[in-house]
Structure 1
């Protein structure tokens, strides 16, 4: 094939062939073989044919649907017009019972069960009579029974006093109930659904002698709709299934009154169940309980009802949410047309309702699938005939671009820019390669310039002095003792507001928050803002004392209570009488202490050690904890009754990570405070130092931030504190996180170090790894300069919660050991 191509194109040897072919453009190669043009032409032809054929098929079905809709509406209008003509001709002369009975019987013979009720209401009891059609006979209804009927004809006549002879009014669809009477040989009730026509009856003098009521059985209009939706339709053009078509009659206010049914069951009760399934709206209207009106959110329906009210007919193509079940591939054709009624022969017709016809057809999809099959077969034949040629020439044409693509992809995977070195294959790929190499050279040059400029900018920005951020308001909490309650974040504003509301009461308080979030300062703020501000504020750390010392500190003792009791000692409850007592780290209290606290808080009296007398106290108790007391209650480590005794009011102190927007304000505040205390003049943070503070996790919260700033001020040698001057607690004095000498090869670490740990936790566990168990004090002594007590407690509780450590004992006897899974 290659030799044939060379002879056809006039190319010589293989070398000359490849040299000349390399000079051809890709467009020239594609034009030689015309493959894209063939495929494009076939595809475009098929798509255009499909679009236009679908358009005309949809147009034809739409016209058929609107024609059928108009035919149904016209058939209903003819039915109403014939009924109007019947009642006008009947009322032309004075009425007698025999004449009305004869009309009902003749009508049943000529038109079937069209009229179900007829009534004449004249002056006086003797001129009022009602007839009902009973199967194939006509029976007169006793007047007393007619008066007891629900929605009876006597009520309708009273509403027709404004009519003149020759004028007919059409009532709304109504359900009529006659009580049991002698119909058909035995007493039985009658339930009818009727459309009533009413007209005056003229007397001999030209006045009105009475009113004639002629009622159509509503099943007759329903059967008209059913006929047009059946194989016996007068407009039947070809056989179709009935499952995907439905006609609905609606009144001029949007009420669905009836739907088409099986034409073979003309006596079937009226219903709209099939079309209202899945709709939301109003069920039942006065006089007709089976009516249904969709809600306003069904826009397609109400758009059609509005058009019907205006006397317009048309089509809707939007998919409705009512009607028969939809087949996945069917198309929706929804026609609507008004139904008009003339009150007199020469009057203008008025819209009394409308017909909505839903036709779900498979014809458009079937036609589309047929055309797609034809297009597919045609295209497949063309493609198969050129397949071998496409495969061969595709490789020849796209190989240069493929090599260029692979070279660019490899360069991207390497992560660095370099010049492409590929042989020339054709004009386009060679031009593209040169353009790419020129772009790479320009990018490399710009990259170097940008790196140098960014480095200079970062260096300058990192050393840039940040103006001191001063809080706009201290929320009314002034004083150095409340220095950590600084910030303008929403979390801090909520805390301040909670402190204000809590201080206004005298109930006990439970403060919950992580280590370093200012629980003690919050308690002191509540005391300072309360009515007890002038009285003592005493703080007892329940985690710093063993059980006996804590009992003694809380309740006191009398002289001689034990060998070292040389004199009486007031307990914290008595010493804080009239003021506030803070029980910090209440979660570490032993069960004995918890029991004693519960009794003291319940009766507000205590008994010092060695004394048989009880002493009353007036103290507001504030408890603080950094652990979840509910979990301790669940595990049996904390008394549930004491928990609910303490948690009368609860205050939560937010962690610093929850109010990062306050870091700049707090840093500026602590910086000014530390520089003033150390006499170093005014100091400033650099932009780099502030960025480093904002990026830190702050497990020690505000206390850790304060210590960090104090440490930075103490070591500062210039007016501006730079990023390298900031040292965190887990870092050494040189700012590094404890790196090993590079010459030493570290031994394999236990599985515990595979878990995500902070630098402080990792360093402490390495130091305590060879111990069988250790205490919190041992953990505190592992850090450089010591780990704060609350920080150590937070770290150990975190390791216990994650299953890395196991905890045993309580209070000062608490011990920790590595769990078996972590060894």
Structure 2
């Protein structure tokens, strides 16, 4: 109990604390949260009001469109009926022709009229046809008088009609006899209205043709537009909500309404309309008709608009339990018109009303409230979080600045301190520290500039080279090879072994590494030395020419074959055939070579006899044939035929210690070409040669040295005359300036670069891939020290001597080799050293 009282007192003291002494976080919350909630409440109310209004307008427009399209459908049906009547009137005096026309109309359009007939204006004979189901019969003349109301009663109303005009009656119940064999006194009653038009020749009126239109046909149109088969149906409406259409005449009587089932057997009804309005049911000529009372002001306003041919919409409120369960609904309406004659105004036959009940506005309102509550809760939570973050950042600005300065010290690089906005005071202090760092960095840059000037002068001094490279590196057995080292010695041993045995040899190596020299050495040291040595480059010849060059042809073998030709196999008989760039040969050539090697026989083009050949085949390639075998571009059986003995010619970058002696050898060759003596290289030129990657190997080195010797005007060739990109030299110097770039010396004496987060996860330089360039080693070192690296940071480290694309290629290659791991996406992408946790 005492503990609870203590907590209560503590909370009261905090609440009663003077506002100026409250924490910044508390003051911000007390000021911002109520204001934010008030703004959200106002915004929610306004958006709810606006969205409700627009949804209501959309529903009303949909209702008006429904009423208008339904009325248009009825008008189209009435117009079809009028046209049928006018066309039939042309044969009005011929009952058989009229009956045939209406039968054809029924078959083609489905128009079924329960009654049609003729009323003569003079001494002619009347006739009447009645239809019940599929049967249409002509009433005997004595039965016509039994029709209620009789057609003769229409005569007085039709006398004013002119040819082409149509008269329309009101809806009422019509009863007429329909005798049959089973029941000769049967009678049928239908709710319908009649149309009539004059018929005769020219302007002479001989009588009047009339027909009855069943009200059910119009009712079925209302039902069709309410059903899922409606021609204007755009989406599914929920069946729970009651919606219906009804037809009313100009006197305000609701004659019938739409039904859920479209069928002529369904009787007319006005049940749903009677539930929505107070009024009178039934009239003498139409028992199902319903007329709302005069207290239904909105309804009678609708009737007035229909009389004036104005469509519209009214918002209604239900009558307690007798109406819709929904508080408000809409009543859309549209007039139904019929043009009695082309030169007359349209007659208002009646109107279509559409009662639409929907809770979409209320449902949207509930959803809106839910969304606003969720937004309010999220906004308050985010506001509290934002206030906490802002207060924390404001109070910790100085601590962040101190940590940033400490990081600058740990990195060992004079970089500007970068902090997010933490307040005016912290910003002023940060600018002062950055100004001091900038001054120190400028002084360091001046020192580096002076060092570079001194170094550039030293690089122009001539380098000391041996007077004669053959004194120390001359090999009497292999005079064509200059240089020493394990790789060169291994190549010479392989050549000597290959020369001792008479088998096929495969020479593998990059372009410019001396593959042909190796082949010539094998031939020179073998027992075939006194026989021919034929060399062919497969990459220079197409398939047919290569086949002809290798195997020859007989005279007349092809169009231009005007004489015999001995192929390379025959020319090299007893000696050695060297095929360079064997990977360029097609599969057809490979198949021919495989046959020649297997049988040691060839068949020239155009010959039907094999020729024995004694040839040692030496092939060379600068690509990976195993990879080509996997791709299906090189035959595996031929590969193993060729690779009896393999000789590897090392790339120049693998034995850079031979660059000076090779450079001097080629320099002497260049002197002989230029007719000069005493030429040498400067230190800068030699360093640039040593730092180059040499993609063209020894051939590139020879071309570069001879070109410089011929073009140089001074005896000392400078670095800028070598034709190499000076950026590589800058990059190498930057890498060399990394005082601890090669890492600490481990207890075993191995240089080590730590690419992980601790010493145990580091990798020794000797364990790294041998094809990493200095830029990639620098990137690894920077990532180890700072924990990450980006492409922009690598460009900055190399003082802008490489493009962002080159930096991206270098880093992506480190990722592919498993030395770096990509973290983040887009602008926040960075690369961190591979560790046991993030590996894979």
Report 1 or 2 for greater relative contact order, CA contacts < 8 Å, sequence distance ≥ 6. Answer: 1
TM over 0.5: no
TM-score normalised by L of structure 2: 0.41
Q: Which has the higher Rg, Structure 1 or Structure 2?
A: 2
TM-score normalised by L of structure 1: 0.42
